[in-house]
């Protein structure tokens, strides 16, 4: 993945929300109107914080790491049986694997899916922006900042497509979006 894309993702392109974990998730909830079934969460801290306040996202993508450091265990919600489906995928760091894309597609018509990623989940949000239903939301962590909350619309889809095309040249065929 090109370094300029990493920088663009770090800046975010939705609503940047800062603060402690509880403040951030409270602000997210107020913006989405508590519609957790329309929230796609990417990142261990984002997912576990949502679960801590009783919000079970449509889909949670976690890799068991925070800031590249192994976390101790999975979000508490997994142990409580809050997810309808739990799937495991491989997605090497800095990539969007076919498995990751299929996992996103799988989640579109379902609720409460936990996706355990062997590798890294960071770029999966871009695939979410291509496939999530219009009007749904993606939230992903911005280390040492907070989160980026993005409402899915056609402009966001186009931007995600353009970003992905920087590291997957034939993005239309690869994602079969047309």
Q: Given this model, what pLDDT does residue 177 score?
A: 47
pLDDT, one tens digit per residue, over 133-167 is 999 999 998 888 899 999 999 999 999 988 888 77
DSSP-derived letter for residue 84 is S
* Helical pair 44-52 and 21-32, crossing angle rounded to 10 deg: 80
pTM to 2 decimals?
Answer: 0.87
Per-residue burial over 30-66, b if 16 or more Cβ lie within 10 Å, else e, is: ebbeeebebbbbbbbbbbbbbbeeebbbbbbbbbbeb
Average pLDDT over residues 63-69: 67
Q: Given this model, what pLDDT does residue 80 score?
A: 59
pLDDT, one tens digit per residue, over 7-16 is 777 778 899 9
């Amino acid at each position: 993945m090109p370094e300029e894309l990493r920088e663009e993702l770090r800046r975010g392109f939705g609503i940047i929300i800062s603060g402690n974990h509880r403040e951030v998730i409270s602000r997210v909830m107020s913006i989405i109107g508590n519609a957790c079934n329309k929230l796609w969460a990417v990142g261990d801290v984002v997912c576990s914080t949502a679960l801590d306040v009783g919000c079970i996202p449509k889909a949670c993508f976690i890799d068991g790491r925070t800031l590249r450091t192994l976390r101790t265990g999975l979000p508490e919600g997994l142990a409580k049986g809050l997810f309808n489906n739990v799937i495991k995928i491989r997605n090497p760091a800095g990539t969007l694997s076919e498995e990751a894309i299929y996992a996103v597609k799988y989640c579109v018509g379902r609720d409460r899916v936990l996706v355990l990623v062997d590798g890294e989940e960071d770029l999966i949000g871009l695939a979410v922006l291509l496939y999530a239903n219009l009007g749904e939301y993606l939230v992903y962590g911005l280390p040492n900042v907070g989160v980026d909350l993005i409402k899915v619309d056609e402009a966001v889809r186009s931007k995600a497509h353009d970003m992905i095309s920087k590291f997957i040249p034939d993005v239309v065929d690869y994602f079969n979006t047309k």
